Chains A and B, each alone.
With several copies, the nearest count.
Chain A
Amino acid sequence: MRFLATREQRDFARSLDAMLTAARTPTAIRAWAAGDPSPGRALWSRLAEVGVFALAVPEPYEGMGPLPVELATAFVELGRHGMPGPVVETVAASALLAELARRGEDGPAKRLLPGIAMGGTIATLPPAVGGPGYALDADVADLVLAVRGDELWLAPGHEGVRASADPARRLALPAPGGELLAAGPAVTAAVAQAGGWAVLATAAQSLGVGLTLLDRTVAYAKERRQFGTEIGSFQAVKHRLADTLIALEFARPLLFGAALTFESADLAAAKVTAGEAACTAARTALQIHGAIGYTEELDLSLWLRKARPLRDAWGTPSWCRARVLDAYDGGS
Chain B
Amino acid sequence: MDLSYTPEERAFRAEAREWLRAHVPAEPLPSLETEEGFAAHRDWEAELAAGRWSVVSWPERYGGRGADIFRWLLFEEEYYAAGAPGRVSQNGINLLAPTLFDHATEEQRARVLPSMATGEVIWAQAWSEPGSGSDLASLTSRAVRTSGGWLLSGQKTWSSRAAFADRAFGIFRTGPETDPARPHRGLTYLMFDLRAPGVTVRPIGRLDGKPAFAELFLDEVFVPDEDVIGEPGQGWRIAMSTTGNERGLMLRSPGRFLAAADRLVRLWRAGGEDRGLRDRVADAVVGARAYQLFTAGGAARFASGAAIGAESSLNKVFWSEYDIALHETALDLLGDEAESADGEWGEGYVFSLAGPIYAGTNEIQRDIIAERLLGLPKGRR
Contact assessment for B262 and A331 in the assembled complex, using a CB-CB cutoff below 8 Å = yes
Q: Which of B207, B279, B354 contacts A321 (CB 8 A)?
A: B279
Q: Which of B1, B261, B285, B303 contacts A256 (CB 8 A)?
A: B1
Q: Which of B2, B262, B377 contacts A330 (CB 8 A)?
A: B262
The verdict on A239 contacting chain B, using a C-beta distance below 8 Å, is yes
The verdict on A127 contacting chain B, using a C-beta distance below 8 Å, is yes
- Give the chain A neighbours of B205 by CB distance below 8 A: 295-297
Tell me, in angstroms, the Cα distance from A318 to B259 when the chains sit together: 24
Chain A proximity of B253: nearest CB distance (Å): 12
Chain A proximity of B80: nearest CB distance (Å): 8
Interface residues of A in 224-239 (CB under 8 A from B): 226-227, 229-230, 232-239
Chain B proximity of A247: nearest CB distance (Å): 9
Chain A proximity of B307: nearest CB distance (Å): 15
Interface residues of B in 34-70 (CB under 8 A from A): 70
- Give the chain A neighbours of B282 by CB distance below 8 A: 272, 320-322, 324-325
Number of residues of chain B lying within 8 A (CB) of chain A: 91
Contact assessment for A5 and B357 in the assembled complex, using a CB-CB cutoff below 8 Å = no
> Which A residue's beta carbon lies closest to that of B277?
A318
One of B90-98, B142-150, B222-230, B337-345 contacting the partner:
B337-345
Tell me, in angstroms, the Cα distance from A249 to B312 when the chains sit together: 12
> Which B residue's beta carbon lies closest to that of A2?
B300
Interface residues of A in 179-224 (CB under 8 A from B): 218, 221-222
User: Scoring A residues 1 to 24 as 1 if CB is less than 8 Å from chain B, else 0, what string do you get?
Assistant: 111111001000000000000000
- Supposing A1-B70, A321-B283 touch, asked if A222 and B375 sit within 8 A by C-beta, the answer is yes
A-B contact count (CB 8 A): 257
Contact assessment for A291 and B358 in the assembled complex, using a CB-CB cutoff below 8 Å = yes
Tell me, in angstroms, the Cα distance from A301 to B283 when the chains sit together: 29
- Give the chain A neighbours of B370 by CB distance below 8 A: 232, 238-239, 241-242
Contact assessment for A325 and B278 in the assembled complex, using a CB-CB cutoff below 8 Å = yes
Interface residues of A in 103-143 (CB under 8 A from B): 127, 130-132, 134
Contact assessment for A2 and B2 in the assembled complex, using a CB-CB cutoff below 8 Å = yes
Contact assessment for B361 and A235 in the assembled complex, using a CB-CB cutoff below 8 Å = no
The verdict on B177 contacting chain A, using a C-beta distance below 8 Å, is no
- Give the chain B neighbours of A3 by CB distance below 8 A: 1-3, 293, 296-297, 299-300
Q: Which of A69, A239, A257, A305 contacts B289 (CB 8 A)?
A: A257
The verdict on A177 contacting chain B, using a C-beta distance below 8 Å, is no
- Supposing A134-B340, A233-B379 touch, asked if A269 and B286 sit within 8 A by C-beta, the answer is yes
Chain A proximity of B42: nearest CB distance (Å): 24
Tell me, in angstroms, the Cα distance from A199 to B37 when the chains sit together: 40
Chain B proximity of A29: nearest CB distance (Å): 13
Interface residues of B in 353-381 (CB under 8 A from A): 353-354, 356-358, 361-363, 365-367, 369-371, 373-381
Contact assessment for A312 and B335 in the assembled complex, using a CB-CB cutoff below 8 Å = yes
Number of residues of chain A lying within 8 A (CB) of chain B: 85
Contact assessment for A318 and B332 in the assembled complex, using a CB-CB cutoff below 8 Å = yes
Max chain B C-beta neighbours (<10 A), residue from A9, A229, A237, A331: A331
Contact assessment for B278 and A269 in the assembled complex, using a CB-CB cutoff below 8 Å = no
Tell me, in angstroms, the Cα distance from A131 to B301 when the chains sit together: 41
The verdict on B77 contacting chain A, using a C-beta distance below 8 Å, is yes
Q: Which of A166, A222, A249, A266 contacts B377 (CB 8 A)?
A: A222
What residues make up the interface of B, taking CB atoms closer than 8 Å to A?
1-6, 9, 70, 77, 81, 128, 133-135, 157-158, 204-209, 213, 255, 258-259, 261-262, 265, 276, 278-279, 281-283, 285-294, 296-297, 299-301, 303-304, 311, 314, 317-318, 331-332, 335-342, 346, 350, 353-354, 356-358, 361-363, 365-367, 369-371, 373-381
16 contacts between A and B (CB under 8 A): A1-B296, A2-B304, A3-B1, A218-B376, A226-B135, A245-B314, A253-B290, A256-B1, A260-B1, A269-B289, A290-B361, A296-B207, A312-B339, A316-B335, A324-B285, A331-B259
Additional 18 contacts, C-beta under 8 A, given A1-B4, A238-B376, A296-B207? A4-B304, A131-B336, A132-B336, A169-B339, A234-B379, A238-B367, A239-B366, A241-B374, A241-B376, A245-B374, A254-B293, A269-B289, A286-B357, A290-B134, A292-B133, A316-B335, A317-B279, A332-B77
What residues make up the interface of A, taking CB atoms closer than 8 Å to B?
1-6, 9, 69, 127, 130-132, 134, 162-167, 169, 171, 218, 221-222, 226-227, 229-230, 232-239, 241-243, 245-246, 249-254, 256-257, 260-261, 265-266, 269, 272-273, 286-287, 290-297, 301, 304-305, 308-309, 312-313, 316-318, 320-322, 324-325, 328, 330-332
